[in-house]
Structure 1
Amino acid sequence: MGSTRGGARGGPAGGARDRDGEGRARSARPRDGLGRPLPYGAQGVARQPEGIVRGPEETVAEAQALLDAGRPFHAHEVFEDAWKTGPEAERGLWRGLAQLAVGLTHAARGNLTGGPRLLRRGAGAVEEWTAGAGAVRVHGMDLPEVVRWGRALADEVERTGASVDAGRCAPRLR
């Protein structure tokens, strides 16, 4: 049985991998608000551009808007950009925030094991960075509150055994 969507795995015709402008493998499949791939040709949400260099204030504001809109997968991309392009001294902070956003993504997708695990890992990373930096408010973020949020949401998902509404459960970074 042949695929009607293109190559051997439903990708581009001829089975070639999707590539970005720099030749890196990058799926061109549309995605839903939680980052799940949709079939080629389906209407998805706008993809978050990757590799954007933003200042910390812009990073926090953009990530918060995406979190509030129920798009934690896309917020994770914003945090990942900060992690990869920001100052070395802040990489642990941005990595932890990205993990928290991915944890929320998985909890909203119904991954009742991985979601809490990633939420706790991200909370631990942010807490560790905070202790090492000797600061609890950075770029306007209340980091102890963000840590509490991540752990509380992990507990809730495990207690209820149910997925969460990503927009309703989004953290307040500031």
Structure 2
Amino acid sequence: MASTSSGRQTGARDRDSEGRARNARPRDGLGRPLPYGADGVARQPEGVLRTPRETVAEAQELLDAGRPFHAHEVFEDAWKAGPDEERALWRGLAQLAVGLTHAARGNITGGARLLRRGAGAVEEWAASAGRGQPYGLDLAGLTEWARQLAAEVERTGAAVDAQVRGPRLRG
């Protein structure tokens, strides 16, 4: 198989040491693939075990930097590794981050849909768990933020600045 100047094999998918498909292409701050060899932003490592508070802090840093796609990956780690009773919470938070990603990329329909889906999941989890602010999370504020942003992107039809419009996870 032929190799490119970057050492990547052409005609083959990028694989990790265990043979699982990985996409080693560089990505921009919103997670969009860039051409091989381009300068991209550092990817979030996958499968990192963090405490819930570490997850929230790291995700907030990424959201503040305008990198909601990367914040989604942090939430996804918590969703996949966390206790069963919290998976819906972390999945909902990941959906909020992906919704913001799509809204920032200009995918108005997908962004609004994911923002609302994430808001519903977070709201439902909070109601069923009887908790409003686990790990300092402002779940009521997040659901309000998501629904307002979804309505705004649908009304204006314009992409949003993820750094300016990112949520505050803690109240």
TM range (shorter): over 0.9
Task: Give per-residue Cα distances to partners, 1:7-43, cap 9 Å, x unaligned.
Answer: xxxx943411101233210111000000000000000
Pick from 69, 75, 92: which aligns with 1:79? 75
Counterpart for residue 21 of structure 1: 17
| Superposition map of 1:148-163 within 5 A | 148-163=144-159
Within the alignment, does 1:54 sit opposite 2:50 as a pair?
yes
- The Cα of 1:57 is off from its aligned counterpart by 0.5
Alpha-carbon displacement from aligned partner over 1:66-92 (angstroms, at most 9, x marks no partner): 000000000000000000001111000
CA distance in 2, matches of 1:20, 1:110: 32
* CA distance, structure 1, for counterparts of residue 38 and residue 18 of structure 2: 25
CA distance in 1 between partners of 2:48 and 2:17 (Å): 15
Query: Does structure 1 residue 139 correspond to structure 2 residue 123?
Result: no
What residue is the counterpart of 2:97 in the other structure?
101
- In the alignment of these two chains, the number of paired residues is 166
Whole-angstrom distance in 2 between the partners of 1:139 and 1:13: 44
- In the TM superposition, structure 1's runs of 4+ consecutive aligned residues that sit over 6 Å from their partners are none
Q: Which runs of 5+ in 1 are unaligned?
A: none
- Say which structure is richer in helix: 2
Using structure 1 for the length normalisation, give the TM-score. 0.93
Partner of 1:113: 109
Q: Deviations over 1:37-78 (max 9, x none)?
A: 000000000010010010000000000000000000000000
CA distance in 2, matches of 1:67, 1:20: 28
Residues of 2 paired with 1:70 and 1:106: CA distance? Answer: 12
Aligned with residue 91 of structure 1, among 66, 71, 87: 87
Q: CA RMSD in A?
A: 1.3
CA distance in 2 between partners of 1:94 and 1:13 (Å): 36
AA aligned to 2:162 is A
| Matching of residue 166 in structure 1 with residue 166 in structure 2 | no
1:32 pairs with 24, 28, 32, which one? 28
TM-score (norm 2): 0.94
Gaps of 5+ in 2: none
* Structure 2 letter corresponding to 1:32: D
